[in-house]
Chains A and B, each alone.
Chain A
Amino acid sequence: MKTILKSALLIFSVIIWQACDKVSPPYKETVVIETGTRKVLVEDYTGHKCGNCPRASKSLYDLKPIYGENLIIMAIHAGFFAQTNVPPFLYDFKTPEGTQLDTDFGISNAGNPNGMINRRLVNSSYIIPSTAWASEINTVLTDPSPVPLKISISNDYNSTSRELQTDVEMEFFTTLSGDYKLCVFMVEDSIVNWQKDYDVTPNDVPDYIHREVLRGSMNGTYGNTISETTEGAVSSKNYSYSLPVEWNDTQVSIIAFLYDVATKEILQVEQAHIE
């Protein structure tokens, strides 16, 4: 009995010793990924006073060459690091919708940077640390299961009156049972303003380019219910909004997504510029 146990432990130790992968250069792979019609929404929770956040954001845009338009990014300024109480960080990037989401999902409570990938649960947590974003994006975009729907956005924008009409059409390829809601958010790209960035010296950067910042919603934080979700159904919704003069309308786009109310998971997302 003792000999058996002794040898068992010895074998176990040897097995563990084998459990080591030494990666040799090159450390990067040249990847060609077959992406389908499924798109993914990354919600990057950030703040202009969060010095670790620019690195996280940069890592997302480094993935753009691989995934192209299948990767949709939305930066949400919320929580402690988005406060506007310390000069020079006085420009308010916050939105009521972003703050609501941040509170409900407990993101800035867990720290910044952090984010959500299609609001999928990973280890029972919606909050995905920034270094895991690439893996989770890849998991979603290489998912071989059928894509349940396609979202099409058509915008009609009058730059004189700054009135925007947005039509969102959803075409269902499979029958979805349960409750589903559509959210239509507005983001503005390339806002130049102050940002703390620990990767550069000095840390306070006056002309940082804030990419795809959530500016507001056309239908609230949690959107409208879509009742027709059977195979072959086509649902459409119309929204209108007058853009504040403060927004640079040449950089504004619409992000529309459908999510499962029970699991909160986003099933499909689309982005379209207003002009």
Chain B
Amino acid sequence: MEFLSYLNYFHRLTIQRPVNLFKKLVLSGVALLGFSYSQAQINLPFEVHGNFQVDVQYYLEDSSIGAPPVPEEVLTNGFGNLTFSRGNFNAGLRYESYLNPLLGFDTRYKGNGITYRYADYTVGDLNITLGNFYEQFGSGLIFRSYEERGLGLDNAMDGIRLKYNPVAGVYLKGFIATQRYYFDEAGLVRGADGEIALSEAFEGLKSSKTLITLGTAVVSKFQSDDDPIYKLPENVLAFAPRIRINRGNFGLYSEYAYKYNDPSAINATAENPGGIYKPGQGMYINTTYSRKGLGVSLSGKFIDNMSYRSDRAAVSNDLHLSYLPALTKQQTYRLATLYPYASQPNGEVGYQADIFYNFKPGSKLGGKYGTYIALNYSRANGLDTTRTNDELGYESKFFKMGPDKYFEEVNVEFQKKVNKDLKFLVTYIYTLYDEGVIKALGDKYGKIYANIGILEMQYKISKTHSMRAEVQHLYTEQDKGNWAMLLLEYTISPHWFVAAFDEYNYGNEIKENRLHYPNISMGYTKGANRITMGYGKQREGLLCVGGVCRQVPASNGFSLSVTSSF
């Protein structure tokens, strides 16, 4: 009952069956735990490994935050992987179940099935994969196949892949495959990649202090042209040479990408609704310097019409071939994730500088336990383009920033250990976020300027008991105004944790929308099994990718998550 009064502290709940449901969740959690204790030792002629996760959410209608009624009341996403290996042979499969998919996931995931299966073996220098595989060429500018389960993104390949290592320092890869599309497949993709590590491949360079690796990727996709009006390229090729240089504490990586004419849903314009024929270009450069206590990283990125997918009509997160991540700091604090930048595949120039320094213990600023300072600056602008009145769409200049600033962020982070049990982390973030561009919402949505301050405290009470608290505040005059957040987390290692936080949109211009979004969760971990359960309210969001927008509705409800591996 204490649990519920705690909930009521945050807001007045009008739930009809929370107690019963909570009991049910606890009971089923306990039942599952009991199950894991009875794991049997299996003697097989091969090794078997696996992992498993299930997320169950019980939804309550809540008109105050705009959470819609969910007819099924309970929704579930789950999956399990099994791998079998013996010597140079591996095989595996993944079973996925969405009954029905959690809110925010595409309903095309509805159902069950084996979505990933493969056999893989190595004979001498040659490795062969039959079935599904994930692969990445270079930094992924023209090809990366990967999964991001939590976002409902999985562009696994299905086909044949060869990896060949003919001599030391030379790595060759080639594949022909289709790509996952929910519970089906689409596209036809061919790819090859070669890489040579000069210092490994050439005797004369073995003692060189400068290590150079060169590589090139080539990818081509096929899709028939059934369009009644446009002459569409059925085979679209992209290539990407790259170089990596390391010397002592210095490192440099650069990759350039070129894509031939590829009119698609993503580069469609009002004048060319089927897409433009301009070739695409991209470039990524990163330099790093690191020594004990100091790290510096400078990066630059140029993207010009580089969305590359195995189906030209694909939108949302479907059928990606190119991987164009945002060149910004990956935020983890909750309020700092309110305005995340998303790469603009049609065109952007971005820079990022990241520096951290550790003042040694005993030094003036280091104090007894040392002091950590990190700075991060990132910025992304649109391209400098001139519209052309033809099917090529526009002209652009290589790596030239245009006048429109899409995103800018300054991060300052400071960590200080006061004594052996107490540590403070202070973060300040300034964000400029062009909502109209990033969320593709049009001219009514302008720039949002936000200032975020975060104080985190970690306190070790005893050998096994520890506490963590976060106070976050976001200040903005735009969008929904100011937010405040408080988080408390208590951990009894190695088994238990309990956490509670509340996000409060106290600065909303509209009085009725000054809402609390409370969350509480607890978890139990034993060995490789982990059970987490919680209750909370989630904000609604709008997800726009490539000209198609969908609403991720707000939700209010109980969650249960079980993960396990063996």
Please tell me which one of the listed residues B162, B218, B316, B391 contacts residue A27 in the complex, with CB atoms under 8 A apart: B391
Whether the pair B549, A5 counts as a contact (CB closer than 8 A) is no
B145 at the interface (CB under 8 A from A): no
Whether the pair A125, B184 counts as a contact (CB closer than 8 A) is yes
Whether the pair B191, A16 counts as a contact (CB closer than 8 A) is yes
Whether the pair A12, B549 counts as a contact (CB closer than 8 A) is no
Residue of B184, B231, B260, B312 ringed by the most chain A CB atoms within 10 A: B231
Whether the pair A9, B172 counts as a contact (CB closer than 8 A) is yes
Q: Which residues of B contact A28 (CB under 8 A)?
A: 229-231, 391
Whether the pair B442, A12 counts as a contact (CB closer than 8 A) is no
Whether the pair B166, A6 counts as a contact (CB closer than 8 A) is yes
Chain A, 22-43, CB within 8 A of any chain B CB: 22-23, 25-29, 31, 33
Q: How far is the CB of B233 from chain A (nearest CB, A)?
A: 4
Given A111-B548, A123-B185, A13:B164 Cβ within 8 A: no
Whether the pair A109, B107 counts as a contact (CB closer than 8 A) is yes
Given A22-B260, A130-B265, A125:B236 Cβ within 8 A: no
Please tell me which one of the listed residues A17, A22, A129 contacts residue B313 in the complex, with CB atoms under 8 A apart: A129
Given A20-B237, A52-B549, A112-B549, A62:B231 Cβ within 8 A: no
Q: How far is the CB of A143 from chain B (nearest CB, A)?
A: 12
Whether the pair A2, B166 counts as a contact (CB closer than 8 A) is yes
How would residues 407 to 442 of chain B score, 1 for a CB under 8 Å from any chain A CB and 0 otherwise? Answer: 000000000000000000000000000000000111
Q: Which residues of A contact B222 (CB under 8 A)?
A: 19
Whether the pair A110, B550 counts as a contact (CB closer than 8 A) is yes
A201 at the interface (CB under 8 A from B): yes
Q: Which residues of A contact B203 (CB under 8 A)?
A: none
Q: Which residues of A contact B219 (CB under 8 A)?
A: 16
Q: Which stretch of A131-139, A244-252, A257-265 is in the interface?
A: A131-139
Whether the pair A21, B234 counts as a contact (CB closer than 8 A) is yes
Q: How far is the CB of A174 from chain B (nearest CB, A)?
A: 25
Q: How far is the CB of A130 from chain B (nearest CB, A)?
A: 7
Residue of A21, A52, A132 ringed by the most chain B CB atoms within 10 A: A21
The A contact surface, by secondary structure, is mixed
Q: How far is the CB of B182 from chain A (nearest CB, A)?
A: 7
Whether the pair A106, B226 counts as a contact (CB closer than 8 A) is no
Q: How far is the CB of A105 from chain B (nearest CB, A)?
A: 9
Whether the pair B260, A125 counts as a contact (CB closer than 8 A) is no
Residue of B181, B227, B261, B270 ringed by the most chain A CB atoms within 10 A: B227
B534 at the interface (CB under 8 A from A): no
B130 at the interface (CB under 8 A from A): no
A152 at the interface (CB under 8 A from B): no
Q: How far is the CA of A33 from the CA of B125 in the complex (A)?
A: 54
Whether the pair A110, B226 counts as a contact (CB closer than 8 A) is no
Q: How far is the CB of B270 from chain A (nearest CB, A)?
A: 4
Q: Which residues of A contact B172 (CB under 8 A)?
A: 9
Whether the pair B233, A124 counts as a contact (CB closer than 8 A) is no
Given A23-B231, A55-B268, A203:B444 Cβ within 8 A: yes
Name the residue on A nearest B173 (C-beta): A9
Whether the pair A22, B261 counts as a contact (CB closer than 8 A) is yes
Q: How far is the CB of A24 from chain B (nearest CB, A)?
A: 9
7 contacts between A and B (CB under 8 A): A2-B125, A20-B260, A110-B106, A113-B548, A131-B265, A134-B228, A135-B227
B-binding residues in A (CB < 8 A):
2, 5-6, 9, 12-13, 15-17, 19-23, 25-29, 31, 33, 50-52, 55-56, 58-59, 62-63, 66-67, 79-81, 106, 108-114, 123-125, 127-132, 134-139, 196, 198-204
A-binding residues in B (CB < 8 A):
106-108, 110, 125-126, 162, 164, 166, 172, 174, 181-186, 190-192, 194, 218-220, 222, 225-237, 260-261, 264-265, 268, 270, 273-275, 277, 311-316, 390-391, 440-444, 543, 547-551
Q: A110-B107, A111-B550 are in contact. List 11 more A-B contacts (CB 8 A).
A: A16-B218, A22-B233, A29-B228, A31-B228, A50-B549, A52-B440, A63-B229, A108-B550, A124-B181, A131-B264, A137-B228
Task: List the 10 closest pairs (A to B, CB-CB), nearest first.
Answer: A132-B313, A106-B107, A20-B237, A124-B184, A199-B270, A111-B550, A131-B265, A111-B548, A135-B226, A19-B220
